Structure 1
Amino acid sequence: MVSYFVYASLNSDRATFKSSFDLLVNNTLSVFPLFSVVDNGAVGTKLFKHGYKLEHPVVLIPGFVSTGLEVWQQHELCSSTMHRTRVWGSISMAKAFFTDFRCWFRHMSLNRSTGLDPEGIKVRPVDSFSGAAEFNEFYWLWNKIIDNLAKVGYDSNTIHMVTYDWRLSFVNLEIRDRLFTRLKTQVELMKLIHSKKVVFMSHSYGTQLLLYFLKWAESQQGGKGGDSWVDTHVHAICNIAGSLLGVPKSFSAILSGEMKDTSQLGGTLNELLEFWSVSSRKQRVDLFRTWHSLFTMLPIGGAEVWGDDGSTPEEPSPQGANRSNLFAPPLVNGLFAHVEETCADANVNAANLRNFLKNELTGSGSMPLNMSFGYSKTPSANDHNPLKWHNPLEVRLPYSPNLTIYSFYGVGKPTERGFRYRCNQKFKYSFVINTNYNEDTWINGVRFSEGDGTVPLISLGYLSAKQWRTRSHNPAGSKIITHEIAHNPHWISPRGGDFTGDHVDILGNYVLNEALVKIACGSTVQQHFISNIQSISEAVYDRLENSQ
């Protein structure tokens, strides 16, 4: 399938290809209608017939790598035809990647020291819906949610898409693009025009960005909105698959340019690709280490949340009528990296992760490892400390008694949790994943646990299951509702169909779309737990409280 997409991106007769592809898809959907119910706004149409209609203006915040990026100033050694060319998102990205990789690489990289634009280059996010509703014409992201909202009366005046350069740190997003200033102004404008508070819908890394923004908007060091700004302007937050406590794969991407997707190619095939590919492991590492956003996604909370060399608070989900599909292997420890003895005695867990990276990244430029990733019993003390705002364990929620926070996420899909490393003298950097290692819960050098295929369960669910229900981190008693969604993909659908819980494809899930439309229309949804996140969260909370 991928080869067809590459062919299409390089072939001038794209219209013919698209017509054939659309015909194939339409014919398939006519035979297998089960996985196309959410298409064409069917959920919104049903709810409109039951009396649901536009109520609150909606702000959509996409996740990591979800916003298209385009060139506004190209490097002097690259073609002048790159102006306004998308180097991320759309088919033109593939063309730029395969026809002139060096120029593509230059424009996707940031300055190592500042985390901002390299000299002589400007790459900016594509505006509005065209920037994030779909990755390209074959891969939807927010389209289904937008279509269903449209069926109950929404349009471009009542939906705002926040597009942003996901490579940048939160601080640099405001310094370079004034992202948070613009967003605060937009929210205030929507409230003024429609006389209704907004509903935020954020996906994955977008929820981390949203939580940072809310602290920024209140603070005198940021938007100067004051303690009542959120309660005045925000009706609800819909957190969709939020990577709230980080993801282990950010560690592997920074360390070796690898993750589950590359390791599962297998050892021999991986070596061949390294030899022939225009994008080698070294190049991936060099590129990823310029994206300061990846450092924001490193696991938060230390060993108390993620475990250490000898223990972990996570446990297999109990089996039962509603849980038989959950993938829940036992975890005997919380290591992110098992480094083989022939390479170094350097097993990595959440407690020593940052020191390990600091040693590995010495001489690599200014890396944003000075942010805090701990836990605070008195988060109110950090209200005006920007270095803490990215960490929901060290800051409290806004004082907003009328706010409701919903957490929707999938469970039941194997999710990368740790990595087995070996030495490779041929590689510039010290460690590579040992793709030949397959034991117990390890597959091709990657260890899996419960989650949505990208974010582990502990990161998806801990805050809404426990921490945000405590007065220290939720001072106004904002209502917290967790709604887990079982991963039940349809076997014939390449994206899983209406009932997938996959990290990205959940955006097309029937249950999620129905819930989001209801919330936007002023209704609510019920709490729904499938996994054992509640008991895990109690164990994590005890560990955190006793660690102080």
Structure 2
Amino acid sequence: MKSNIELMVATSGEKVVVIPHSMGTLYFMHFMKWAEAPQPLGGGGGPNWCAKHIKAVMNIGGPLLGLPKIVAGLFSAEAKDIAVARAAAPGVLDKDIFGFQTLQHAMKMTRTWDSTMSLIPKGGDTIWGTLDWAPEAGHDCVASKVNNNESQTSGQNMKQSSNSINYGRIISFGKDVASLPSSKINSVDFRGSVKGYNCANSSCRDVWNEYHDMGIEGVKAVEDYKVFSADSVLDLLQFVAPRMMRRGGAHYSYGIADNLDDKKYQHYRYWSNPLETRLPKAPEMEMFAMYGVGLDTERAYIYKSSPAAECHIPFQIDTSADGGNEQSCLRSGVYSVDGDETVPTLSAGFMCAKGWRGKTRFNPWGIKTYIREYNHAPPATLLEGRGTQSGAHVDIMGNFALIEDIIRVAAGSDGKELGGDRVYSDIFKWSQRINLQL
């Protein structure tokens, strides 16, 4: 990629506009640091490489701060789609031919995809919230989906407050635990608990991946902890899948830097974490966060222990946990928040809304940042296919407004000429609630 960009700039005389999508936004973060870094660690381009070659980076649907969804995937090989399927056809996914063997093999496969670990939530409780606080507190799942062309009255009639939801509890064992004050939760620390073997059949080792090492004692220790925030989720994954996390830890980081001048941050494992690295020395470059909003997006989960069975994944989303009406943010054990159906708005927008905005320690050169949100609208007719106004994570690639923005920047416009920020969500309000040293 480095040589291709250099060739394009050399032959055209113009800097390039880079358009990463989804996980590619993390890898392009890594690439910019690699391109600057001295050989053999990096590409040897030097500290001015990005300034010389890149006009703008237009991140589309970027999970820059990770995904709660990936936690459920690594923990129990589930997500909203599996939870909805369980709710629609109770028992079917627990049968050998349809269900748990498929999920076991899905887990075995995905836990070998080390790239998935780049999507574990970054920034811990500071970004994602604690047991008693989260930046998205009060989010209204219905109002966020009301098209801006509809009247305010319509939105008010549909409104249902979610003040009682604590999105900081990414995993809760039981619906009651998800809403109890933290002082009333009798949590027993699982860290350091003695594991035991639960499966005499050695064939389990081919299916369980690492759960076969936990045994009844380890499973119970996890359940007794009751509730997990972003910080304790990292400890949870270390406990249930230590080999997987050791591999991931060699390539990715999930924290917030105390001092970016510390030489340890020169290591490549930090380069894809925007909270543990700096944007390049390229003050004329622009960073865009372009993503869909107005779609229910996974943010937190209610779990239960699954039925005891040989070689069975011991935890599953509790699909009986429901908010009680169609307007609730809780459905089939999954709490939703605003986003593009895959990436929560907080992950896609925070860095351009606050973390990089102006001159900060993550953006010391003052690279200009812009947020361009695309309010989801379903296809009006079958002729639209997936929709020319879609905000969904993949379908947004066919969104006419997004395509126009990209073409205009590629043709020479800057973010200010596009109109600056275009925001439909509460990303600025949520970002202001996050107490991050800038």
Aligned equivalents of 2:75, 2:245: Cα separation in 1: 15
Residue type matched to 1:260 in 2? Answer: K
Matches within 5 A, 1:131-530: 183-220=1-38, 221-267=41-87, 269=89, 271-273=91-93, 274-277=95-98, 280-316=102-138, 322=148, 329-330=162-163, 331-340=165-174, 343-362=223-242, 366-369=246-249, 371-381=252-262, 384-424=266-306, 425-426=308-309, 428-439=312-323, 440-469=328-357, 470-493=359-382, 496-524=386-414, 525-526=418-419, 527-530=421-424
Write the distance in 2 (CA, Å) between the matches of 1:338 and 1:461: 26
Determine the C-alpha separation between the residues in 2 that align with 1:289 and 1:449: 26
Residue range with higher mean Cα deviation, 401-410 or 320-329 = 320-329
Structure 1 CA distance for aligned equivalents of residues 106 and 161 of structure 2: 31
Q: Does structure 2 conserve the Cα–Cα contact (< 8 Å) formed by 1:327 and 1:412?
A: no
Structure 2 letter corresponding to 1:497: G
Instruction: Please give the TM-score of this superposition, normalised by the length of structure 2.
Output: 0.77
- Give 1:366 deviation, angstroms: 4.7
Cα deviation, 1:257-287, whole Å, max 9, x if unaligned, reads 1001111113473642453238611111111
**Structure 2 unmatched ranges of 5 or more:** 178-219
- In structure 1, the gaps of 5 or more residues are 1-182
CA contact (8 A) 2:173 2:227 kept: yes
Q: Is the 8 A contact 1:354 1:369 kept in 2?
A: no
Q: How far 1:387 moved relative to its partner? A: 2.0
Question: How big is the shift at 1:328?
Answer: 8.2
Answer with 504-513 or 275-284: which moved more: 275-284
How far apart, CA to CA, are the structure 1 residues paired with 2:12 and 2:265? 30
2:208 aligned partner: none
What CA distance in whole angstroms lies between the structure 1 residues aligned with 2:360 and 2:245? 41
CA distance in 2, matches of 1:327, 1:205: 33
Report the secondary structure of 2:275's partner residue. coil
CA-atom RMSD in angstroms: 2.6
Task: Quickly say closer, same or farther: Cα 1:519–1:270, change in 2 above 3 A.
Answer: farther
Secondary structure of 1:477's partner?
A: coil
- What is the SS of the residue equivalent to 1:458? helix
CA distance in 1, matches of 2:97, 2:261: 53
d(CA) in 2 for partners of 1:316, 1:346: 23
- Residues 167 and 300, structure 2, Cα contact 8 Å, conserved in 1: no
What is the distance in 2 between the residues matched to 1:281 and 1:483? Answer: 37
Q: Which amino acid aligns with 2:301?
A: F
Q: Which has the higher contact order (CA 8 A, sep 6+)?
A: 2
Counterpart Cα distance in 1 of 2:269 and 2:406? 32
Q: 2:437 matched to which residue of 1?
A: 545
Q: Sequence identity, in percent?
A: 30
Q: Is the contact between residue 266 and residue 436 of structure 1 (CA under 8 Å) also seen in structure 2? A: no
**C-alpha contact (below 8 Å) 1:248/1:416 kept by paired residues:** yes
Q: Is the 8 A contact 1:490 1:499 kept in 2?
A: yes
Is 1:535 matched with 2:429?
Answer: yes
Distance in 2 (alpha carbons) for counterparts of 1:367 and 1:430: 23
- Counterpart CA distance in 1 for 2:376 and 2:320 is 28
Kindly provide the amino acid, as one letter, of the partner of residue 75 in structure 2: L
Q: Look up the equivalent residue of 2:125 and give its one-letter code.
A: A
Compute the TM-score of the two structures, normalised by the length of structure 1.
0.62
Cα separation, partners in 2 of 1:454 and 1:360, compared to 1, 3 Å = same
Could you tell me whether the CA contact under 8 Å between 2:21 and 2:60 is conserved in 1?
Answer: yes
Q: In 2 relative to 1, CA 441–208 (structure 1 residues): closer, same or farther, beyond 3 Å?
A: same
Deviation digits for residues 65-115 of structure 1, max 9, x if unmatched? xxxxxxxxxxxxxxxxxxxxxxxxxxxxxxxxxxxxxxxxxxxxxxxxxxx
Q: Is the 8 A contact 2:238 2:245 kept in 1?
A: no
Deviation at 1:495, TM superposition (A): 5.4
Distance 1:200 1:327 in 2: 40
Contact 1:263 1:433 in 2 (8 A): yes
Distance, in Å, in 1 between the alignment partners of 2:291 and 2:137 is 19
Question: How many positions carry a matched residue from both structures?
Answer: 362
Name the residue aligned to 1:160.
Answer: none
- Structure 2 distance, partners of 1:460, 1:209, is 15
SS, match of residue 406 in structure 1: strand
Q: What letter matches 1:248 in structure 2?
A: P
* AA at the equivalent of 1:538: Q
For residue 393 of structure 2, what is the amino acid of its counterpart? Answer: H
TM-superposed CA distance for 1:206, in Å, is 0.8
Q: Cα deviations across residues 15-73 of structure 1 (Å, max 9, x unaligned)?
A: xxxxxxxxxxxxxxxxxxxxxxxxxxxxxxxxxxxxxxxxxxxxxxxxxxxxxxxxxxx
